[in-house]
Amino acid sequence: MMVGLLLLMVATFGMSAASLLVSLGYLGTAAPRADFESLAKEYLLSNPEVIVEAVKQLEARQQAAQENELTAVLTARHDEIVSDPTSPVGGNVDGDVTVVEFFDYNCPYCRQAAPMLQQLQQEDSGLRIVFKEFPILGPGSHFAARAALASQKQGKYLAFHSAMMAFKGSISESSTLEIAASIGLDVEQLKLDMADPAIEDAIAANFDLADALRLSGTPSFISGKQITRGLVDLETMAQLIAAARAE
């Protein structure tokens, strides 16, 4: 058991056992370098609980470093996150607090989040929602994202977005166009607008931003300096919005 944990610790953090123990203050550096590993082995045999504690401490350090890195990204790319003109906006466009959602139309959890966000908009007149098309679930999702962004040219993004999220089946090219027609979009014009290279550029920018923020799934939310990965309930989202507003 202890050997396995030691191997995990060394493999995870890319350091020798002795180096780990020194860095965490369990061993001094007075001993000759050649004796470090021997000292580490003896120490761990006498104090096996140190392995678990060392792993916890290093994981905490890595998490803190990652959080600092993400905070720096949120600050440096703030305008791109909340004010990119290619990203559609719902709620109060002049609101005092912004929630950014990265989503995919084929994501069942994004569909569950949609009515929650709609309720929050109704209850909070100062809430602004930025929609980031993040089609990670295949070609159908990518086609839908392009169609959604193109629908802005006909002034129907929010209606199209709501209809797409309310759809019960799989989102594909055919279902996307059927939904577009059902809300009154000119489908032939939509197809022409989808060919605009700026739409692919906008989606690529969202992927680049998601990569910088280490977002790999949907839905993902940004509120203030807080990144929330995955679906949360109404109360939790309201608390996140309140915290962002307090910032």
Query: What DSSP string runs through 61-93?
Result: HHHHHHHHHHHHHHHHTHHHHHH-TTS-EEE-T
Report pLDDT digits (tens) over 48-82: 676 667 667 666 666 656 666 788 999 999 999 99
**Domains in the chain, please, with CATH?**
2-76 (no CATH), 86-246 (3.40.30.10)
Contacts of 91 (CB under 8 A, 6+ apart): 121, 124, 127, 128, 129
Looking at residue 83, its pLDDT comes to: 96
Rounded Cα gap, residues 55 and 138, in angstroms: 37
In this prediction, residues 91-105 reach a mean pLDDT of 97
Report CA Rg, the chain.
Answer: 24
**pLDDT band at residue 97 under the 50/70/90 scheme:** very high
Mean model confidence pLDDT for the chain: 86
Looking at residue 247, its pLDDT comes to: 85
Looking at residue 25, its pLDDT comes to: 56
Looking at residue 14, its pLDDT comes to: 47
**pLDDT band at residue 222 under the 50/70/90 scheme:** very high
Amino acid at position 57, single letter: Q
Rounded Cα gap, residues 215 and 102, in angstroms: 9
Please check the confidence at residue 200 and state whether its pLDDT lies above 70. Answer: yes
Report pLDDT digits (tens) over 141-153: 999 999 999 999 9
Please check the confidence at residue 213 and state whether its pLDDT lies above 80. Answer: yes
Please check the confidence at residue 242 and state whether its pLDDT lies above 60. Answer: yes
Is the separation of the CB atoms in 133 and 157 below 8 Å? no
